Amino acid sequence: MKRISLRDKILLWFTAALLIVVGFTYFMLLSVSSRILQKTVRDNLTEAVEYNYNEIRFYSRMEDVDFGKDASIYIEFASGYLEVSEDFLDEINQVYTGLYSADGNLLYGENPISSGTDGLAFFDSQVQTLIADGEKYYVMDRRLGTQGLEGIWLRGIVSVSQGTSQMTNITRMSLVLLPVLVLISVVGGSLIVRRMLRPIQQISDTAKQIGQENDLKKRIELGKGRDELHQLADTFNEMFDKLEKSFETQRQFISDASHELRTPMSVITAQCEYILESPRSREEYEEAFRLVQRQSRKMSKLIGDMLDFTRLEVGTERYLPERLNLSELAEDICRDMSLIGENGITLEYVIQPSVEFTGNPGLLSRLLMNLISNAYRYGRQDGHIRVTLRKEGQEILLSVADDGIGIAPEDQEKIFRRFYQADRSRSGAGIGLGLSMAAEIARFHGGKITVDSMPGRGSTFTVIFPADAVPRREPPEDG
């Protein structure tokens, strides 16, 4: 089935609603105006009949007539004279009036109905409806009580079609006007809807282009505006920004990782080629294997670190938080790591007891171990490492300080980036992932990590956790 576009759906709905409204209006117009017109015709009838009723007089002698009055005419009638209004015989508002005897004979005046109204009984001051010769009439009677006219009826007759002809005009006019109105509204509505939906089309086109051309730099350009569609476009653009950043980070990560892997791979390949060139002594083979082993371990650590890092960053692994005694966890790690004793370095720790925290013990151990390993690696011969843990107000502060080589100010921000190494000569098995991992773990727990360092004097890394934070479970934001 053909898919109906949103624009057509809106238009269809709108047109249908409009037709219903117009149809209803048309119907109401007809019924109301028909009622009003019929009432007007009846009112005209009543008015004409009452007027003539009041104007009729009877005189038995002409001498009694008061000629000083308004225009009247005099007709010989019965044994005297009838005084009627000058326009008795003119149809006032198309009302025909006549004088009738009680048995229904027209004595004076007019009756528009050719077949007459003989069969219609007289009812004083009442409007009756009569259908004669295929037409509908209103009839109103008045019984005259004036002296000399007793028993005579004044009857007014008006054709209802007189009103209907006006109705037909209204009907014809509205039959033309209303469809024109609908047409104008539909065309206008269609233009407005098209204009309204244009931004949605733009949004969809841009999204399509990004999908087809893999161009994450494209943005939706709707120009200035504050309506919902502009907000939607802004939201999409923000999402594209994030996607672009995330793809760029991902690309950089892959490129850095392959670069890091290439070095040990080249060393292993070169070593194998060299050793296989000609027969070698047992010592040379041993030396070659040791080198291959070292490089393999380095690669294996790199792959492991990368996997951990990705799991944490992408959120594929569920690191469940639990309520733990951070003091005990830190103390255990410090006790174990103080045994390393590398380069004669001494590890001291000052840990406030019973600092409670909600977090993942595996990740928190990893964070502290990374910082202590670095402190050993970049510490000075016979130097000191000092680990402290304390709660201050609503914050938990965990710091690892050393008196080693320190970090140049320009490097202090960069060292948290993946694969960034300020001093490659000292890094040993390190590959530049330790600190970015530590920063990611701190962020995962709602905290952050800072460094305070002076080249040649040493560095202090401080992790600040909000005491009541609950680690997030969704994938972390790129940073």
Selected range binding ligand ADP among 19-27, 211-219, 225-233, 419-427, rule: CB under 6 A: 419-427
Buried-exposed string 229-245: b where 16+ CB fall within 10 A, e elsewhere: beeebeebbeebeeebe
Selected range binding ligand ADP among 154-162, 260-268, 323-331, 418-426, rule: CB under 6 A: 418-426
Buried-exposed string 186-212: b where 16+ CB fall within 10 A, e elsewhere: eeeebeebeeebebeeebeebeeebee
Start-end of H helices in 214-344: 228-277, 282-314, 326-338
Question: Per CB under 6 A, does 435 bind ligand ADP?
Answer: yes
Question: Per CB under 6 A, does 431 bind ligand ADP?
Answer: yes
What is the enclosing helix (H) or strand (E) of 198?
helix 161-213
- Binder of ligand ADP out of 210, 256, 459, 471 (CB under 6 A): 459
Coil/strand/helix, residue 363 = helix
Q: Residue 204 corresponds to which tokens in the numbers above?
A: 């969809």
Q: Which CB, 97 or 399, lies closer to ligand ADP?
A: 399
Task: Provide, rounded to whole angstroms, the least separation between the CB of residue 412 and ligand ADP.
Answer: 9
Question: Per CB under 6 A, does 432 bind ligand ADP?
Answer: yes
Q: Residue 286 corresponds to which tokens in the numbers above?
A: 């041993």
Selected range binding ligand ADP among 10-18, 33-41, 149-157, 416-424, rule: CB under 6 A: 416-424
Task: Provide, rounded to whole angstroms, the least separation between the CB of residue 346 and ligand ADP.
Answer: 15
Task: Provide, rounded to whole angstroms, the least separation between the CB of residue 249 and ligand ADP.
Answer: 16
Q: Are the C-beta atoms of 306 and 350 separated by less than 8 Å?
A: no
Coil/strand/helix, residue 273 = helix
| Residue numbers 199-218 binding ligand ADP by CB under 6 A | none
Task: Provide, rounded to whole angstroms, the least separation between the CB of residue 384 and ligand ADP.
Answer: 12
Task: Provide, rounded to whole angstroms, the least separation between the CB of residue 440 and ligand ADP.
Answer: 11
Angle in degrees, 0-180, between the axes of helices 228-277 and 282-314, rounded to the nearest 10:
170
Question: Per CB under 6 A, does 423 bind ligand ADP?
Answer: yes
Buried-exposed string 86-109: b where 16+ CB fall within 10 A, e elsewhere: eebeebbebbbbbbbeeeeeeebb
Of 88, 87, 80, 85, the closest CA to residue 64 belongs to 80
How many residues touch ligand ADP under the rule CB under 6 A: the total is: 22
- Binder of ligand ADP out of 407, 442, 463, 469 (CB under 6 A): 407
Question: Per CB under 6 A, does 422 bind ligand ADP?
Answer: yes
Task: Provide, rounded to whole angstroms, the least separation between the CB of residue 368 and ligand ADP.
Answer: 13
Task: Provide, rounded to whole angstroms, the least separation between the CB of residue 303 and ligand ADP.
Answer: 14
Selected range binding ligand ADP among 273-281, 327-335, 405-413, 441-449, rule: CB under 6 A: 405-413
- Binder of ligand ADP out of 163, 404, 447, 471 (CB under 6 A): 404
Question: Per CB under 6 A, does 402 bind ligand ADP?
Answer: yes
Q: Which residues contact 91 (CB under 8 A, 6 or more apart)?
A: 110
- Give Cα 364 to chain centroid, integer Å: 42
Of 307, 295, 303, 371, the closest CA to residue 333 belongs to 371
CA atoms within 13 A on the CB side of 474: 2
Question: Per CB under 6 A, does 434 bind ligand ADP?
Answer: yes
Question: Per CB under 6 A, does 156 bind ligand ADP?
Answer: no
| Residue numbers 342-401 binding ligand ADP by CB under 6 A | 374-375, 378
Task: Provide, rounded to whole angstroms, the least separation between the CB of residue 445 and ligand ADP.
Answer: 18
Q: Which CB, 85 or 436, lies closer to ligand ADP?
A: 436
Q: Are the C-beta atoms of 389 and 398 separated by less than 8 Å?
A: yes
For ligand ADP, the nearest residue by Cβ is 430
Q: Residue 343 corresponds to which tokens in the numbers above?
A: 């380069």
Selected range binding ligand ADP among 7-15, 190-198, 247-255, 421-429, rule: CB under 6 A: 421-429
| Residues of this chain that bind ligand ADP (CB under 6 A) | 374-375, 378, 402, 404-407, 415, 420-423, 427, 430-436, 459
